[in-house]
Chain A
Amino acid sequence: MTHSSVLFDAPGPKARRLSVVSSILTGVVIVGGLAWMVWTLAQPRESGGITLPGFFDPSRWDIFADPEVWQFIIFEGVVGTLRAAFTAAVFAIALGVLFSLLRSSERAWIRVPTTVVLEFLRGMPVLLMMLFILLVLNTGSFWAVVMALSLYNGAIIGEALRAGLASLPRGQREAGLSLGMRPLQSKMLVEFPQAFRQMLPIIVAQLVVLLKDTSLGFIVGYTELLRVTMNNLASFYGNRYLFSLFVVALALYLIMNLSLSWFARWLSKRTASKSSGARLDPDNPNQAILMAEASAAARQSETQHGSM
């Protein structure tokens, strides 16, 4: 339904003019609203009898001329965030492989407890998991953040990989077995590489979630970007930089997350053009996992029909 023109006839000159006019009008309203916000922020404000300059006054931004501030933001903040995200990403992918193996096991006594644990991990807030690890295992805030993020995202990546495995043609496994591979060998050497590649866009999209969630470290006391800017710098240089520091932190987060998001989208476009299968939407992991499972079910019923 991306081409809504199927729903009605091609618009005539009158409808097109109307569309252009309304487009310009709403554009003016939106730009006006943004301009009003900027203007309001730029106004000087009274507080306790003292008039403070507006938020775009140079005196509210002058700390950013100091390279030491940037060094602090980049080397402590951004590096702290990326370090936690990278470590957690590595563990999450490893756990995802493990979870998907255990969950698709043929033995019920492995499969059922794994399913329960995965449901538990997916249904619990990551923040509560961080608190849990911090208090029970006494690991320090870095490992609390990393472990909680690995477990949570590992559970989701595991589900994605399991759906990817299920959607592979059955012949892949049969061919592996017929060459004399053991079931685990066929899984690791034949099936996983394909499932991993098919699910790569979704895994990268999940890593965006992971990167975003490192900011929860702010609440459990891990020194990452948000904590560096909002607590350390704001208390050192004073509250009047609160707003500008927030803007800088927001911009840095957006740069990191948007580039990773675009990478995921680019990957999904690239993989879609190579394989004939439907494109999996990295923005909607749940839906994508389900699509993979549905296509697996469809394929299975097909082969059953074929053999009869």
Chain B
Amino acid sequence: MDAVIENLPTFLEGFRMTLLLLVVSGISALILGTIIAAMRISPVGSLRAFATVYTELVRNTPLTLVLLFCAIILPYLGSRLDYVTAAMIGLAVYTSPFVAEALRSGINGVPLGQAEAARSVGLGFGQTVSLVIMPQAFRMTIPPLINVFIALTKNTSVAGGFFVFELFAATREIANANGNAVIAILMAAATLYLVITVPLGILAGRLERKWVVQR
């Protein structure tokens, strides 16, 4: 326990970086993912094809490879980004197809009959989308999106393997320096991750139970 208390500032520094990575790359992934999802359901064929290929390729690439590209290949190609920015870009790119899929599944999850019913009572395109489809799609989208952000929280740890000093890197450093208190140190790190992921998970579960079953 002493080792944990002694190294609390280092832990908190790492935790702060984890939160920063989560927030910045989470928001960027949300923006990028929304664009991809919009391309995916757009009437323009080439945009749809591009978004599909992008989703398939990025989703099947290991995150380690993406972050290795950002940390080692990009500087080699001549980029001058610092490691933290590069890791944020990598995490955002990796997360964006998952965001896009969550958004798309929300829109796809609204039964066809809803749109037909709306049209049959005389609503126009704008009214159908804004009054009938979107409210339902939104309710179905929030819980899977939260799950994407939980995964992102855990994924930030991979950046710790590539020169970013976040919670995983901090833990590894402290554990290497205090070989006799490894379990306490790792438990402290796990607790800090759970502080983010468990409340998000409970929130997602609650919203899901409240919203999805109604169909």
- Measured CB to CB, the residues of A under 8 A from B are 1-4, 6-8, 11, 19, 22-24, 26-27, 30, 41, 45, 119-120, 122-128, 131-132, 135-136, 208, 212-216, 218-219, 226, 230, 239, 242-243, 246, 249-250, 253-254, 257-258, 261, 281, 283-284, 286-287, 290-291, 294, 297-298
Please give me the residue from chain A that is nearest to B97 by CB atom. Answer: A283
Instruction: Report 17 cross-chain contacts, Cβ distance below 8 Å, ordered by A residue.
Output: A1-B133, A2-B112, A6-B119, A7-B115, A7-B125, A7-B133, A23-B44, A41-B77, A123-B197, A124-B197, A132-B186, A135-B186, A215-B64, A253-B62, A258-B56, A294-B212, A294-B215
Binds A, one of B1-9, B28-36, B157-165: B157-165
Partner of A131, one of B77, B101, B109, B171: B171
Q: Enumerate chain B residues within 8 angstroms of A125, measured Cβ to Cβ.
A: 154-158, 168, 193
CB of A246 within 8 A of CB of B115, answer no
CB of B190 within 8 A of CB of A124, answer yes
Please give me the residue from chain B that is nearest to A135 by CB atom. Answer: B182
CB of B208 within 8 A of CB of A290, answer yes
Interface 1/0 per residue, B62-97 and A, CB below 8 Å: 111100110011001110000000000000000000
B121 within 8 A of A: no
Q: Could you tell me the distance between the alpha carbons of A230 and B116 in the complex, rounded to whole angstroms?
A: 54
- The minimal Cβ–Cβ distance linking B41 to chain A, given in whole angstroms, is 7
- The minimal Cβ–Cβ distance linking A206 to chain B, given in whole angstroms, is 13
Please give me the residue from chain B that is nearest to A46 by CB atom. Answer: B78
CB of B61 within 8 A of CB of A250, answer yes
Which 4 A-B residue pairs are closest in the complex by CB-CB distance?
A219-B161, A27-B46, A125-B157, A257-B60
Q: Could you tell me the distance between the alpha carbons of A52 and B182 in the complex, rounded to whole angstroms?
A: 47
Grouping DSSP codes into helix (H, G, I), strand (E, B) and loop, the A interface class, with mixed when no group exceeds half, is helix
Task: Classify chain B's interface size.
Answer: 35 or more
CB of B44 within 8 A of CB of A216, answer no
Q: Could you tell me the distance between the alpha carbons of A249 and B144 in the complex, rounded to whole angstroms?
A: 31
Please give me the residue from chain B that is nearest to A294 by CB atom. Answer: B213
- The minimal Cβ–Cβ distance linking B38 to chain A, given in whole angstroms, is 12
CB of A287 within 8 A of CB of B77, answer no
Q: Could you tell me the distance between the alpha carbons of A45 and B208 in the complex, rounded to whole angstroms?
A: 53
Please give me the residue from chain B that is nearest to A214 by CB atom. Answer: B62
B43 within 8 A of A: yes
Q: With contacts A23-B46, A124-B193, A286-B144 known, is A1 near B62, CB below 8 A?
A: no
CB of A215 within 8 A of CB of B62, answer yes
- Which residue of A125, A126, A253, A297 has the most chain B CB atoms within 10 A of its CB atom? A125
Interface 1/0 per residue, B121-154 and A, CB below 8 Å: 0000100110001000000000110010010001
Q: With contacts A119-B201, A120-B190, A250-B65 known, is A131 near B168, CB below 8 A?
A: yes
Partner of B194, one of A45, A124, A218, A246: A124
Q: Enumerate chain A residues within 8 angstroms of B50, measured Cβ to Cβ.
A: 26, 30
CB of B144 within 8 A of CB of A284, answer yes
Add 10 more A-B contacts to A6-B119, A131-B175, A284-B101 (CB < 8 A).
A1-B111, A7-B128, A30-B46, A119-B198, A123-B201, A226-B65, A230-B68, A239-B76, A290-B208, A298-B213
- The minimal Cβ–Cβ distance linking A225 to chain B, given in whole angstroms, is 9
Q: With contacts A8-B125, A212-B62, A258-B56 known, is A1 near B154, CB below 8 A?
A: no
Q: Could you tell me the distance between the alpha carbons of A2 and B102 in the complex, rounded to whole angstroms?
A: 15
Q: Could you tell me the distance between the alpha carbons of A15 and B157 in the complex, rounded to whole angstroms?
A: 48
Q: Enumerate chain A residues within 8 angstroms of B101, measured Cβ to Cβ.
A: 283-284
Q: Could you tell me the distance between the alpha carbons of A243 and B133 in the complex, rounded to whole angstroms?
A: 46
- The minimal Cβ–Cβ distance linking A60 to chain B, given in whole angstroms, is 12
Q: Enumerate chain B residues within 8 angstroms of A257, measured Cβ to Cβ.
A: 60-62
- Which residue of A119, A122, A126, A131 has the most chain B CB atoms within 10 A of its CB atom? A131
Q: Could you tell me the distance between the alpha carbons of A126 and B153 in the complex, rounded to whole angstroms?
A: 11
CB of B172 within 8 A of CB of A131, answer yes
Q: With contacts A27-B46, A283-B101 known, is A242 near B65, CB below 8 A?
A: no
